[in-house]
């Protein structure tokens, strides 16, 4: 059987069991609404455009944060790869920070920036910058020495060598860095919105929860999941595959 067919059957069954269980045990909608209620809520959200506005607001913040993080991560990654001292000092701090979920910075961020967008963007930037930095650093360090040697015999050196060889040679790692940065940013954004302020998907989720509207809560959760999947599967994994193939790094 095709994996796609298996998957469709699985999800149909999952929803059927869910629906059946909710009816059979007469589960209160404030505990677990039936999938049909969730879909109705999802439909309403789209037809009255509230979900769309939330999505737009979240995306705006996401892209601002992600753009800042990618630039910062690129610069920091280059710095760590090129300066041994920076790597031994700042590098150790960045590795240490990696083990801290960026959302734990929110209380501090709210103190610094106030209960507003800035605080949320700060969380997003923090999470995404760290993974981007680490990947860019690894990419530059792993440029095959043979490429550098070959370019040197063709009279490339200094910044031109860096721009024409080191940077393109580390693109596969940078792409992975961008993909991970996006994933971190998306999670951090949702957590940040949930715990601070909106508008945005995370904020609306908490708002719905405060009013006990669990179908809406689950509808928003589905949206968050779908966007995560769509961006990762349809965009990043494809780009990554193409790049790896072209760079001769594909495993098969």
Partner 1 sequence: MFLSINNVNKSFTNKGNTELVLSDIQLDVKEGEFVSILGPSGCGKSTLLSIVAGLATATEGSIELSGKTIKGPGKERGMVFQQAALFPWLTVEENVMFPLLPDMSKKEAQQKALYYLQKVQLSSYTKHSPHEISGGMQQRVAIARALAMDPALLLMDEPFGALDEQTRSRLHEIVEDIFLETKKTILFVTHSIAEALKLSDRIVVMGTQPGTILDIIELDFPRPRSQSKEDLIVYEEKIQSLLKSEIDKVTEKEQNHAASR
CA nearest neighbour of 127 among 221, 62, 198: 62
* Residue 150 binds partner 1, judged by CB under 8 A: yes
Question: Does residue number 162 form part of the binding site for partner 1 (CB under 8 A)?
Answer: no
* Binding flag, residue 149, partner 1 (CB under 8 A): yes
Nearest approach, Cβ of 163 to partner 1 (angstroms)? 12
Does 163 interact with partner 1 (rule: CB under 8 A)? Answer: no
Q: Residue 207 burial (CB < 10 Å; 0-12/13-18/19+)? A: middle
* Residue 168 beta carbon to partner 1: minimum distance, rounded to whole angstroms: 5
Q: How far is the CB of 164 from partner 1 (least distance, A)?
A: 8
For 81, which DSSP code?
H
Q: Which is nearer to partner 1, 1 or 146 (CB)?
A: 146
CA dihedral 236, 241, 244, 248 (to 10 degrees): -170
For residue 117, count other CB atoms closer than 10 A to its CB.
21
153 forms part of the interface with partner 1 (CB under 8 A): yes
Considering Cα of 28, then 32, then 38, then 42, what sign does the dihedral take?
Answer: positive
In angstroms, give the least distance from the CB of 133 to partner 1. Answer: 22
Binding mask 96-135 for partner 1 (x = CB under 8 A): ----------------------------------------
Does 165 bind partner 1 (CB under 8 A)? Our answer is: yes
**Helix count and strand count (H, E) for the chain:** 13, 0
Question: Which of 11-19, 86-94, 130-138, 159-167 is the region at the interface with partner 1 (rule: CB under 8 A)?
Answer: 159-167
Distance CA 243, CA 106 (A): 36
Nearer to partner 1, 241 or 246 (CB): 246
We find the least distance from the C-beta atom of residue 139 to partner 1, in angstroms, to be 13
Task: Return phi, psi of residue 218, to 5°.
Answer: -70, -35
Q: Which of residues 171-200 bind partner 1 (CB under 8 A)?
A: 171
For the bound state, the minimum distance from the C-beta of residue 88 to partner 1, rounded and expressed in Å, comes to 21
Rounded to whole angstroms, the Cα distance separating 82 from 62 reads 29
CA distance 222 to 41: 11
Q: Which residues bind partner 1 (CB under 8 A)?
A: 144, 146-147, 149-157, 160, 164-165, 168-169, 171, 245-248
């Amino acid at each position: 059987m095709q994996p796609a067919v298996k998957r469709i059957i699985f999800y149909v069954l999952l929803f059927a069991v869910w629906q059946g269980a909710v009816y059979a045990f007469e589960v209160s909608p404030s505990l677990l609404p039936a999938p049909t209620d969730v879909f109705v809520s999802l439909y309403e959200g789209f037809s009255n455009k509230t979900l769309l506005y939330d999505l737009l607001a979240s995306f705006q913040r996401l892209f601002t944060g992600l753009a800042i993080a990618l630039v910062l991560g690129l610069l920091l990654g280059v710095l760590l790869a090129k300066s041994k001292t920076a790597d031994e000092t700042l590098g150790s701090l960045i590795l240490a920070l990696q083990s801290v979920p960026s959302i734990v910075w929110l209380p501090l961020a709210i103190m610094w920036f106030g209960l507003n967008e800035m605080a949320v963007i700060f969380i997003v930037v923090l999470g995404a910058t760290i993974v981007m930095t680490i990947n860019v650093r690894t990419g530059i360090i792993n440029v095959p020495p043979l490429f550098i040697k070959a370019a040197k015999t063709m009279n490339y050196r200094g910044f031109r060598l860096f721009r024409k060889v080191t940077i393109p040679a580390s693109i596969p790692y940078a792409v992975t860095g961008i993909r991970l940065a996006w994933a971190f940013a998306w999670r951090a954004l949702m957590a940040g919105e949930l715990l601070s302020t909106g508008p945005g998907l995370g904020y609306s989720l908490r708002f719905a929860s405060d009013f006990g509207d669990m179908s809406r809560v689950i509808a928003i959760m589905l949206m968050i999941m779908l966007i995560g999947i769509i961006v990762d599967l349809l965009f990043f994994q494809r780009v990554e595959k193409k790049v790896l193939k072209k760079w001769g790094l594909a495993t098969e």
